[in-house]
Amino acid sequence: MAPKPLPPRLPETDLTRHRRLRDQGSLERAELEAILDAGFVCHLGVVVEGRPLVVPTVYGRDERELYLHGSVASRSLAGDLPVCVTVTHIDGLVLARSVFEHGVNYRSAMIHGIARKVTDPEEKLEGLRRLTEHATPGQWSYARRPNRKELAATTLLALSLEEASVKIRSGAPDDGDGPDAELGLWAGVLPLTSVWGEPVADPALPSGTAVPGHIARRAGTRHA
């Protein structure tokens, strides 16, 4: 039987309840999914030997879980540990009249849970497919897939998307209607966009090797 889909509203738990800047919070799961799909790098926070470790790493997902992978030697990927994963997109700098009101326009997500080590070989391969396709759609069927030895050297963690939170800031600075508006200073937003560039061929390639369409097509587009 197929598992039940996760509820469309994010749960407000002791971990996910926003305590500050609550107006920037969203409880829409669709917003969480949009943030996850707009990126492919997260920060994995985990306590290792009593100290916090925050590791940048790539991810993929399905409807229920986030997938993270790495070397079997990675201490941050031990599994069965409480973790906190964040994904952040910067949309611009908010330049206010006062330094105090300066800020960032952003979309961010935080996922809390106990990461599970995936051991079933088929599930592991499917998780790795999701991860590869999340960063580069089309690449799983183009590139050589992992062999048995490579699979054995790879840890795959799955983290439920159940307990997660979202925060989004957009728009102008907040001091346009305060006393600082009289200062006569420029204020506004300096937008920031990340766009894929033209593919750069490996110099080791035989000349004339064509760039596959699924890669060439991305030049000039944003990740989504």
Ligand X SMILES: Cc1cc2nc3c(=O)[nH]c(=O)nc-3n(C[C@H](O)[C@H](O)[C@H](O)COP(=O)(O)OP(=O)(O)OC[C@H]3O[C@@H](n4cnc5c(N)ncnc54)[C@H](O)[C@@H]3O)c2cc1C
Which residues bind to ligand X, rule: CB under 6 A? 15-21, 88, 90, 104, 106, 108-110, 165-167
Please, what is the minimum distance in Å from the beta carbon of residue 119 to ligand X? 29
Q: Which is nearer to ligand X, 10 or 118 (CB)?
A: 10
Q: Which is nearer to ligand X, 102 or 117 (CB)?
A: 102
Q: Tokens standing for 57?
A: 């790493």
How distant is the alpha carbon of residue 2 from its chain centre? Answer: 26
Q: Which is nearer to ligand X, 139 or 160 (CB)?
A: 160
Please, what is the minimum distance in Å from the beta carbon of residue 192 to ligand X? 11
Please, what is the minimum distance in Å from the beta carbon of residue 56 to ligand X? 14
Please, what is the minimum distance in Å from the beta carbon of residue 110 to ligand X? 4
Q: Which is nearer to ligand X, 96 or 128 (CB)?
A: 96
Say which residue the tokens 């060439």 belong to.
216
- CA-to-CA separations, 75 to 10, 71, 80, 131, in angstroms, rounded: 30, 9, 12, 20
Cα–Cα–Cα angle for 217, 223, 224, rounded to 5 degrees: 100
Please, what is the minimum distance in Å from the beta carbon of residue 113 to ligand X? 11
Q: Which is nearer to ligand X, 54 or 72 (CB)?
A: 54
The letter for the amino acid at 208 is G
Whole-number Å distance between alpha carbons of 156 and 118: 6
Q: Which is nearer to ligand X, 14 or 182 (CB)?
A: 14
Whole-number Å distance between alpha carbons of 192 and 51: 34
* Number of neighbours of residue 128 by Cβ within 10 angstroms: 21
Please, what is the minimum distance in Å from the beta carbon of residue 168 to ligand X? 8
**Using CA of residue 69, residue 88, residue 82, residue 32, what is the dihedral sign?**
negative
The pairs formed by 18-24 with CB atoms below 8 angstroms and a separation of 24 or more are 18/165, 18/167, 21/167, 21/169, 24/167, 24/168, 24/169
